[in-house]
Amino acid sequence: MSVTAIVGMQWGDEGKGKVVDFLVKDADVVLRYQGGSNAGHTVVLNGKKYIFHLLPSGMLYADKVCIIGDGVVVDLPLLVEEYSALKKEVKDVGDLKISELAHLVMPYHKLIDELEEGRRGSQKIGTTKRGIGPAYADKAERTGIRIGDILRPALFEEKLRRVLDRKNEIIAKIYGGTPLNFKEIRDLYLGYTDFLKDKVCNTVYLLRSLIDEGKSILLEGAQGTLLDITYGTYPYVTSSHPISGGACIGAGISPKDIDEVIGVLKAYTTRVGMGPFPTEMEDPLGSLIREKGGEFGATTGRPRRCGWLDGVMMRYSVKINGIDRIALTKLDVLSGLEKVKVCVAYKVGGKLTEEFTPFLDDVSPVYEELDGWSGDISKAKSFDELPSEAKRYIEFIEEISGCKVFFIGVGPGREEVILR
Ligand code: GDP
Ligand code: IMO
Ligand code: MG
């Protein structure tokens, strides 16, 4: 039995979906602990792509319990759509449970996310417009509505009426937008009680009993460490805690319950949306990696910005999350380059430092250059089958991170993995 947290070590899209899908075959439970439908976690099975936004990435296994934890913000219409589409595609899916404490992303959150991004103009964050920031803001402001409220219709109606009056005022008076209709939202949401009734529960007790029964639990993070609202590149971050500490507050467990933290690291760096990015390649090489790696958002389709691996950021991630082992993804994408670079230090105001700072604007990267490798490595089944330069790249990551790379992704498919 074990409880393992799986976290993104960069700016999201590291390949968490693939890693969770791979590890879950030996586990019993997957719990998503934060974020919402801003996430897009891809699993490729027999050449078919499944993208999970709200559902945990263990849903392709019928014998797993999949929990949407307390810290997630749930866009309920989207969840129902995602669940129904998956059930149509795959008859037997995981056993879905949803925390009664999870907050709802309501239609006004999505509208305000979009309107506020418009208002920010050139200062926009580049959000996914999924209502994530406004939903977490309401949670903090104590005006949020929770999944459990829907199962208490009178309470739900009262809360919705109160909050919608205020939101409509903001929508109309501040943004000049069109107010939303109370009855439409009420009827839509109360219409989901049938879907919810056998899935919603107190997941704190559920998880506790699964841990006590000796089950193996995966805590699936969304986004990545540098998108954390406190530790990331604020304000160009998401509004939750993707870090391993976030797993405790998003699952209702103690830090002492977590046995291991696995960091998912892409062999290079990508970022969607605005914000600083010291190792970004704004040149043909960046475009080549984008094309080769299929670096287009799984949620919004936006092209992802691409750059070299940032070792300074990686070490910061190791420390913040307490990473024990690294799952390295997309090594295959770097094949065919004559040289590969890794940022090993930053120059800040003329001074060299190996310490990360989220104040990245006046930082320039200092690189170590390694030999590249060529050929298709996607069929490699063992570390020894990799070209010596690729092995050196992995060993270099281990040296500067202080962590073992135990999983090497060499293609998007479930089987395209080398384990060490
Ligand atoms: P997540 O949000 O962290 O789950 O990552 P995404 O699913 O948004 O993006 C990762 C993309 O890379 C997806 O298209 C995956 O299918 C793909 N992928 C994952 N691991 C590998 C790998 O090792 N090699 C290649 N070529 N693609 C991978
Ligand atoms: P997964 O789980 C990559 C980014 C957005 C934007 C910022 C804030 O697939 O790795 P938000 O909508 O959360 O308010 O947007 O965060 N972002 C992600 N980038 N992967 C994600 O999720 C992301 N979720 C949000 O692009 O820059
Ligand atoms: Mg993603």
The atom of ligand 2 lying closest to the CA of 128 is: 12
Q: Residue of the nearest CA to atom 20 in ligand 2?
A: 12
**All residues at 6 or more sequence positions from 83 whose CB lies less than 8 Å from its CB, including other chains:** 55, 93, 96, 195
How far is the centre of ligand 2, averaged over its atoms, from the C-alpha of 272 (Å)? 7
Angle at 42 between CA 303 and CA 296, to 5 degrees: 5
Whole-angstrom CA distances from 188 to 148, 150, 205, 330, 418 are 16, 11, 29, 41, 46
- Output the pTM of the full model: 0.98
Q: Which residue has the tokens 């991004």?
A: 117
Distance of alpha carbon 250 from its chain centroid, rounded? Answer: 13
Could you read off the pLDDT tens digit of each residue along the chain, which spans 420 residues? 699 999 999 999 999 999 999 999 999 999 999 999 999 999 999 999 999 999 999 999 999 999 999 999 999 999 999 999 999 999 899 999 999 999 999 999 999 999 999 999 999 999 999 999 999 999 999 999 999 999 999 999 999 999 999 999 999 999 999 999 999 999 999 999 999 999 999 999 999 999 999 999 999 999 999 999 999 999 999 999 999 999 999 999 999 999 999 999 999 999 999 999 999 999 999 999 999 999 998 888 899 999 999 999 999 999 999 999 999 999 999 999 999 999 999 999 889 999 999 888 889 999 999 999 999 999 999 999 999 999 999 999 999 999 999 999 999 999 999 999
Interaxial angle between packed helices 107-120 and 153-169, expressed in degrees from 0 to 180 and rounded to the nearest 10: 20
- Partners of residue 405 on adjacent β-strands: 326
Instruction: Quote the DSSP letter at residue 135.
Output: H
Contact predicate 43/56, CB 8 Å: no
Question: What pLDDT is attached to residue 406?
Answer: 98
Question: What pLDDT is attached to residue 166?
Answer: 97
DSSP string covering 304-334: PEEE-EEHHHHHHHHHHHT--EEEEE-GGGG
From 329, 332, 377, 393, mutation site for ligand 1 pocket: most ligand atoms within 8 A of C-beta: 329
Q: Which residue has the tokens 């074990």?
A: 2
Contact predicate 186/157, CB 8 Å: yes
Question: What pLDDT is attached to residue 74?
Answer: 98
- Partners of residue 407 on adjacent β-strands: 327, 419
Taking the C-alpha atoms of residue 229 and residue 235, their distance in angstroms, rounded to an integer, is 8
- Assess whether the C-beta atom of 222 lies below 6 angstroms from ligand 2: yes
Which residue in 375, 385, 380 sits closest to 417, CA to CA?
A: 380
How far is the centre of ligand 3, averaged over its atoms, from the C-alpha of 40 (Å)? 4
Q: Which ligand is nearest to the CA of 41?
A: 1
- Assess whether the C-beta atom of 326 lies below 6 angstroms from ligand 1: no
How far is the centre of ligand 1, averaged over its atoms, from the C-alpha of 419 (Å)? 17
Q: Give 131's Cβ-side CA count (13 Å radius).
A: 21
Interaxial angle between packed helices 153-169 and 182-190, expressed in degrees from 0 to 180 and rounded to the nearest 10: 150
Q: Residue of the nearest CA to atom 17 in ligand 1?
A: 412
**All residues at 6 or more sequence positions from 138 whose CB lies less than 8 Å from its CB, including other chains:** 103, 109, 144, 163
- Assess whether the C-beta atom of 67 lies below 6 angstroms from ligand 2: no
- In 55-146, which residue ranges form alpha helices assigned H by DSSP? 76-89, 107-120, 132-141
Write b or e for each residue in 137-158: b if 16 or more Cβ atoms lie within 10 A of its Cβ, otherwise e: ebbeeeebbbbbbbbeeeebee
Contact predicate 220/20, CB 8 Å: yes
Taking the C-alpha atoms of residue 373 and residue 134, their distance in angstroms, rounded to an integer, is 46
From 57, 223, 225, 271, mutation site for ligand 2 pocket: most ligand atoms within 8 A of C-beta: 223
Taking the C-alpha atoms of residue 252 and residue 100, their distance in angstroms, rounded to an integer, is 12
Instruction: Quote the DSSP letter at residue 34.
Output: S
Taking the C-alpha atoms of residue 129 and residue 109, their distance in angstroms, rounded to an integer, is 9
The atom of ligand 1 lying closest to the CA of 333 is: 26
10 Å Cβ neighbour count for 197?
10
Ramachandran area for residue 176 (φ above 0: left; ψ -120 to 50: alpha; else beta) = left
User: Which strand (E) or helix (H) includes residue 400?
Assistant: helix 388-401
- Assess whether the C-beta atom of 132 lies below 6 angstroms from ligand 2: yes
Residues carrying an active site annotation: 13, 41
Phi, psi of 286 (to 5 degrees): -60, -40
From 50, 238, 330, mutation site for ligand 1 pocket: most ligand atoms within 8 A of C-beta: 330
Question: What pLDDT is attached to residue 298?
Answer: 80
Domains, the chain = 2-99+200-262 (3.40.440.10), 103-193 (1.10.300.10), 265-419 (3.90.170.10)
Q: Residue of the nearest CA to atom 8 in ligand 1?
A: 13
Burial of 348 (0-12, 13-18, 19+ CB in 10 A): middle
